[in-house]
Amino acid sequence: ICMIAHITAIKMPTLHRHEEEKFFVNAEGRKESVPSIHDPPTKELSVVVPSYNEEDRLPLMMDEALDFLEKRQKQDPSFTYEVIVVDDGSKDQTTKVAMKYCKKYGSDKVRVLSLVKNRGKGGAVRMGVFSSRGKKILMADADGATKFADIEKVEEGLKNLQPWPNQMAISCGSRAHLEKDSIAKRSYFRTLLMYGFHFLVRFLCVKEIRDTQCGFKLLTREAALRTFSALHVERW
């Protein structure tokens, strides 16, 4: 297995994008080419929302996020943003629900990128990141598991990392401090699986980040480009 992996491995995987994924539908129903992360940024913040069969939960998350972002823009007119909903090949009406926000706020603020087939969360986030225009890029789950206002905490975390080497830094949200409350609501079997997974992650991969599964991560544009260019596994 090691020999096969060594022979077939490539340093930088290619990003496969179907022809239909090179465009997004604007608020007027016309197709426009998606931008590239290789282009200079034109927004302060891009919010990438990977979504798979999220027609029920997406509206709550979008209402909260856009309400926060709109208020922030009113307080600071220089602040600009975009929300990119990536429909990861959903079988429900996720795209239709997301397009309602595109029509309400305009396609400069809300864009919907529909993938031809399901890639997995990693692939959906990468497609959104590679189509973003922000100086900073935020991953945010469609289920609204994290309060969107908590972006101020990850922004503070990113600021505290300065000076950023080569303009690269990542600030990760965490719900580890809520672990006791969550355990009380889980079955013993799910709790056992959770602890087993945490052990494997810490033993084999990441020791410093207590909650690797929290889908609330803020990256500088340079860090996002470097990180997602090297993403080999799309399913997770």
* The two three-digit tokens of residue 10, written as one number: 């490539």
The CATH number assigned to the domain holding 23 equals: 3.90.550.10
123, with CB counted inside 10 A (0-12, 13-18, 19+), is: buried
* The two three-digit tokens of residue 142, written as one number: 């469609």
The H or E element that residue 67 is part of is: helix 58-75
For the entire predicted model, the pTM comes to 0.84
Domain span holding position 79: 19-173+214-230
Does a structural domain hold residue 236? no
**One domain for residues 103 and 115:** yes
Does a structural domain hold residue 119? yes
pLDDT, tens digit, 9 for 90 and up, residues 92-135: 999 999 999 999 999 999 999 999 999 999 999 999 999 999 99
Please name the amino acid found at residue 220: T
Does a structural domain hold residue 8? no
Q: Is 91's pLDDT higher than 60?
A: yes
**One domain for residues 27 and 100:** yes
Which residues pair with residue 171 across a beta bridge? Answer: 218
Does a structural domain hold residue 11? no
pLDDT, tens digit, 9 for 90 and up, residues 214-227: 678 999 999 999 99
**One domain for residues 165 and 188:** no
- pLDDT band with cut points at 50, 70 and 90 for residue 82: very high
Does a structural domain hold residue 55? yes
Q: Compute the distance between CA of residue 227 and CA of residue 223 in angstroms, rounded to an integer.
A: 6
pLDDT, tens digit, 9 for 90 and up, residues 161-182: 999 999 999 998 876 555 555 5
Q: Is 34's pLDDT higher than 90?
A: yes
Does a structural domain hold residue 68? yes
**One domain for residues 161 and 203:** no
Q: Is 183's pLDDT higher than 60?
A: no
Mean pLDDT of the chain: 89
* The two three-digit tokens of residue 125, written as one number: 């986030």
**One domain for residues 202 and 106:** no
Q: How many CB atoms lie within 10 A of CB 124?
A: 25
Q: Compute the distance between CA of residue 89 and CA of residue 53 in angstroms, rounded to an integer.
A: 8
**One domain for residues 83 and 140:** yes
**One domain for residues 102 and 197:** no
**One domain for residues 98 and 183:** no
pLDDT, tens digit, 9 for 90 and up, residues 36-46: 999 999 999 99
pLDDT of residue 24: 95
**One domain for residues 66 and 152:** yes
Lowest mean pLDDT among 50-54, 156-160, 178-182, 223-227: 178-182
- pLDDT band with cut points at 50, 70 and 90 for residue 231: confident
Nearest CA among 87, 44, 35 for reference residue 62? 87
**One domain for residues 194 and 82:** no
The H or E element that residue 82 is part of is: strand 81-87
**One domain for residues 207 and 142:** no
Does a structural domain hold residue 6? no
Q: Is 136's pLDDT higher than 70?
A: yes
Does a structural domain hold residue 196? yes
Nearest CA among 209, 226, 220, 210 for reference residue 162? 220
Q: Is 212's pLDDT higher than 70?
A: no
Q: How many domains does the chain have?
A: 2
Q: What is the mean pLDDT of residues 54-64?
A: 96
pLDDT of residue 5: 79
> Per-residue b/e over 93-122, b at no fewer than 16 CB within 10 Å?
ebbebbbebbeebebebbbbbbbeebbbbb
**One domain for residues 79 and 165:** yes
